[in-house]
């Protein structure tokens, strides 16, 4: 039988050894659902706004919103701890994802994007 639904419970581990030589890791969903992909695409849509009383439109694109949405929907676990010696990793949250080192977040977004293939880049 062919499964027609995304198996969002299956994960893939991304080792950070290639990034910084550490033993840290991040687990991401092996696949995103269509609803997740729609949210990622929506985050990358240009938004047009007009200042009150002016006819001119301004188009804004939030280039980080797509990457944040992608990581927030993909990451399920990580080995990151608040301090050395902490007994358990920090829980994954959108807030903590926004606090990641920028280079690490960009690197992870690239890895996650390539994991999901062309479908995750459509409309970006």
Whether 123 shows a pLDDT value over 80: the answer reads no
CB 71 within 8 A of CB 39: no
CA end-to-end distance (rounded Å), the chain: 33
CA–CA separation, 32 vs 110, rounded Å? 15
**What is the distance between the alpha carbons of residues 69 and 71, in angstroms, rounded to a whole number?**
6
- Note whether 120 and 70 are within 8 A (CB): yes
Chain segment 10-32, per-residue pLDDT in tens: 999 999 999 999 999 999 999 99
- Prediction pTM value: 0.79
Domains in the chain: boundaries: 11-49+57-116
Task: Tell me the percentage of the chain whose pLDDT exceeds 70.
Answer: 92
């Amino acid at each position: 039988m062919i499964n027609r639904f995304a198996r969002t419970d299956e994960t893939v581990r991304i080792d950070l050894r290639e990034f910084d030589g550490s033993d840290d890791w991040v687990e991401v969903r092996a696949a995103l659902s269509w609803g997740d992909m729609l949210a990622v695409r929506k985050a990358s849509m240009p938004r047009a706004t007009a200042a009150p009383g002016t006819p001119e439109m301004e188009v804004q694109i939030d280039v980080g919103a797509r990457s944040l949405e992608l990581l927030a929907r993909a990451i399920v676990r990580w080995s990151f701890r608040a301090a050395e010696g902490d007994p358990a990793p920090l829980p994954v949250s959108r807030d903590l994802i926004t606090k990641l080192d920028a280079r690490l977040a960009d690197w992870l977004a690239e890895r996650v994007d390539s994991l999901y293939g062309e479908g995750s880049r459509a409309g970006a």
